[in-house]
Amino acid sequence: MIGSGMSKRLPYTNKDVDYDNAKFRHRSFIQAFTQSLATSNLKRDCTSCSTGKFLLLLLVFGLAYVMLTHTSPGPIVSDNQAIGDGKSENNLITKGRITLKSLLRRPPRLPPRLPPDSKSSSNKIGHVNQDVGSVWTTRQKKVKDAFIHAWSGYKSYAMGFDELMPLSHHGVDGLGGLGATVVDALDTAMIMGIDEVTAEAGSWVEAHLAKRISEKGQVNLFETTIRVLGGLLSAYHLRGGEKGMNLTNAGPEPDVYLDIAKNLADRLLSAFTSSPTSIPLSDVILRDSSAHPAPGGLSSTSEVSTVQLEFNYLSSVSGDQKYSVEAMKTLDHMKTLPKVEGLVPIYISPHSGQFSGENIRLGSRGDSYYEYLIKVWLQSGASHESNTSYLYKMYVEAMKGVKHLLVRKSIPNGLVFVGELPNGLNGGFSPKMDHLVCFLPGTLALGATKGLTKEKAMLNNALSFEDIENLKLAEDLAKTCFEMYSVTSTGLAPEIAYFHTEEFSEQGLEGGNKSSEYVNDIIIKPADRHNLLRPETVESLFVLYRITEDPKYREWGWQIFKAFEKYTRVETGGYTSLDDVTYVPPSKRDKMETFFLGETLKYLYLLFGDSSVVPLDKFVFNTEAHPIPINLKK
């Protein structure tokens, strides 16, 4: 029976008496003996008589003598412990004997010796990270293989045409006949390191494009600027122009791309100089450098405000400011126009310089107006003191308007979406959301952190409450955009979706995937069920992964890529658009859009790769995914 005077703190086992449990260090025999003495009945028995007291005193003096004359065997050091120099010990141990100072100092804490199985398990995290990295390297290669397959179909059946019709094996010119797929795909091949394709595309540009520019007729200012001019300028930089990245030595010298870009831009400038206002005309006749408005006389708001990144960069590298001056006049003028909480109608008149109609949306004809407000400001160096700071203010005001007037939640499961005001502020709200609107999550995230990771922006104290709110909205919208894919039978999104709300509901128009949690939230009308291989969702997944570093965005991108591979790949080469994503097998449209190579596959490749490649704080992507370097001069 344990006496009441005995200590309540007992060793767990007899082994613990000879082992320093707190520090996992072996102790000397003397330390173990004194511990045993302190915890045994001998202490109580000996101190109860005078003889015992004398013997105990003698024992203490004897032990002191042994300890002072004992030679230290040296410290026991863990296998993984770094050994410092002698100075760090303050010379406490000298000439093989222990000093009084060494007895009084606190012994160092040494890490525990782990059994062999524990040591191996401690490295498992490293192996997991390595395995994860290899998985994404493999998946990135699959995207690269998809690009090569798409290019092979185009090269075999449509080389020099704007677009490939992969099922009927021929090409079509729907964008003015400038070989749009060649130029759109060029910088993607450079980024992917596919020198063979880079050489083929670059050689075609050098041999044919200048002649076509001088001979062709009507082209659209916007489409030609974002695809062809943007592609040439990006290729110029990535090939090493103006101390650019020089990702490859394949293809012509960088000045070839710049000279052709200047030739093209000189002709496109007529859209600005021929207009009676600061709003450019819609179409240009290349061979005689003339311009005219679109049928009906109006220009799209997004089109006139989505050429500035390209013209600004051309002025920067050419030294001729005429390109930037003309393009920026448009945004300077639009700053002065009346808006609805920062939101603008989708049409504008080059004759009056005023907005036309009341239709407000972030889908077609409205989308990239908002995108370029923030990107042109970022391109100029993101300074609140710069002469482009008004664009940032316009962007901030517009995003407040989006949140106040256009953001809603679906029922029954609360997907966050962006709707439309077809008849303006005083008309009804439409729960319609184009796939094109899925650019917005990426733009919101970019506007919040200015291209930095969220972690770095927070460390720099660079995120306001509004930035954090916008980043949360970006993540919510990105989920909705992904669910527009996962709700369908094919796993591919429709061109347009509607959302079930308290005020709007239609039965029998689900996406086809009955296992989706959101099958009753998303409505897909028969006329909207096609898929054009669009990039907007994977663009936003790419930006959000770079900024938040959340791996779910990679996983979502991988699911989308697998669906493209399964349902749109054409075995003879190329990929095709689909007529209806809600049925399996889906009926197919005989068309591969240029942006599948220029945007969709590029963003997927970058999403699965290293974030140091084309970093978001050094580049802005134009609306056709052509990276343009940021001018860091303030």
Q: Which residues of 621-631 are buried (b: 16+ CB within 10 A; e: fewer)?
A: bbbbbbbbbbe
Q: Which DSSP category does 329 fall into? A: H
Q: Which DSSP category does 293 fall into? A: P
HEC sequence for 16-80: HHHEECCCCEECCHHHHHHHHHHHCCHHHHHCCCHHHHHHHHHHHHHHHHHHHHCECCCCCCCCC
Cα–Cα distance measured from residue 534 to residue 577, given in angstroms and rounded to the nearest whole number: 9
The reply to whether 623 sits in an annotated binding site is: yes
Tell me the longest C-alpha to C-alpha distance in the chain.
123
Peptide bond preceding 494 in cis form (omega within 30 of 0): no
Cα–Cα distance measured from residue 533 to residue 522, given in angstroms and rounded to the nearest whole number: 20
Cα–Cα distance measured from residue 214 to residue 175, given in angstroms and rounded to the nearest whole number: 15
| Structure token digits, residue 152 | 């092979």
Instruction: Look at the chain and count its residues.
Output: 634
Residue 31 phi, psi (nearest 5): -65, -40
Q: Enumerate the active-site residues.
A: 223, 367, 495, 536
Cα–Cα distance measured from residue 442 to residue 451, given in angstroms and rounded to the nearest whole number: 10
Cα–Cα distance measured from residue 56 to residue 34, given in angstroms and rounded to the nearest whole number: 12
Query: What are the CA-CA distances from residue 565 to residues 144, 147, 574 (Å)?
Result: 12, 11, 11
Residue of 561, 360, 522 whose CA lies nearest to 435: 522
HEC sequence for 335-384: HCCCCECCECCCEECCCCCCEECCCECCCCCCHHHHHHHHHHHHHCCCCC
Cα–Cα distance measured from residue 181 to residue 188, given in angstroms and rounded to the nearest whole number: 11
Annotated binding site: 623
Which residues define the annotated binding site for Ca(2+)?
Answer: 623
